[in-house]
Amino acid sequence: MQIPTGALVLEPTADGSMTLFSADFGEWFHSREGAYAEANATYVEATDLATLARAPSLTVLDVCYGLGYNTAAALTAIAQINPACQVQVMALEIDPRVPRQAVEADLIGGWPAIVQDALRELAATGQATRPGLNATLLWGDARQLIQAVEALGFQADVIFFDPFSPPHCPELWTVEFIARVAACLHPQGKLVTYSCAAAVRTALQLAGLSVGPVNAVGRRWPGTLAQVNPRGLAPLSLQEQEHLLTRAAIPYRDPTLNDSAAAIRQRRQQEQAGSDLVPTSRWRKRWLPPHEKKLPAR
């Protein structure tokens, strides 16, 4: 995969925090309802980090670090709840311009000073080490990086899974990639993503995880919480269960973890065309009002 080189355009969001638009992926980095709010609610609150942070140590895997907001929200919450907690963060990101722009344009100025310091060091050197924190930001295609992380035996208590949406970045929502990410989740850990796409939930299930809906800020649709152990997960509604029986639930596949987005999209379209699963249009007709025939990508 090529390192993105297209324009990154600054944009304010409704809570006053800034996000970026990626010309390469044709998508915003965050919900326009609030970038900081999304990091706090969709990632930190949805995983109940406040409770997890009472433990003596906590391990976080941040897939698609971007501007670092999800890591920042986690470090802020942990510092408030249990400053003695020993935190390990492993973050994956392909585009070094993004965290650097977040620092240079002072988009991180709303986080506490100690968190800003860590984000600055991570953007500059890929490492932030101090008493209570050992954070590493790995550069490259997450599909390759995750294999190195897995080889280390890394087991995350919490995984923030935040790629661009499946239609725009299918390579990070495949059965094969999600299986590698799931292998880095501790048996009692929690993975959270803003997406409720049926293809994503199927891929999570194929990776051996149970899934439940979770509040995602600024969106009409829930996000997804995934765990090895289903205990504590909210049940999927009938509407969500039926979505998983339609062609929309056919997941993206990338057997060598190396295919282009176009090849991955085409493989899925072919599988959908030959499928005898229920057409998703039937599900939409049953469950969605006429003006809302399409699920929003992000």
Ligand X SMILES: C[S@@+](CC[C@H](N)C(=O)[O-])C[C@H]1O[C@@H](n2cnc3c(N)ncnc32)[C@H](O)[C@@H]1O
Binding site for ligand X (CB under 6 A): 1, 4, 29, 39, 64, 66-67, 69-70, 92-95, 98, 141-142, 162-164, 169, 171-172
Q: Least separation, in Å, of the C-beta of 208 and ligand X?
A: 23
Shortest Å distance, C-beta 120 to ligand X: 15
Nearer to ligand X, 149 or 236 (CB): 149
| CB of 70 or CB of 174, closer to ligand X | 70
CB of 292 to ligand X, least distance (A): 23
Q: How many angstroms separate the CA atoms of 43 and 239, rounded? A: 24
| Closest CB 160 distance from ligand X, rounded Å | 7
Residue nearest to ligand X (CB): 66
Pick between residue 98 and residue 211 the one whose CB is nearest to ligand X.
98
58 versus 172: smaller Cβ distance to ligand X = 172
Shortest distance in whole angstroms from residue 29 CB to ligand X: 4
Of the two residues 37 and 58, which places its CB atom closer to ligand X in the complex?
37
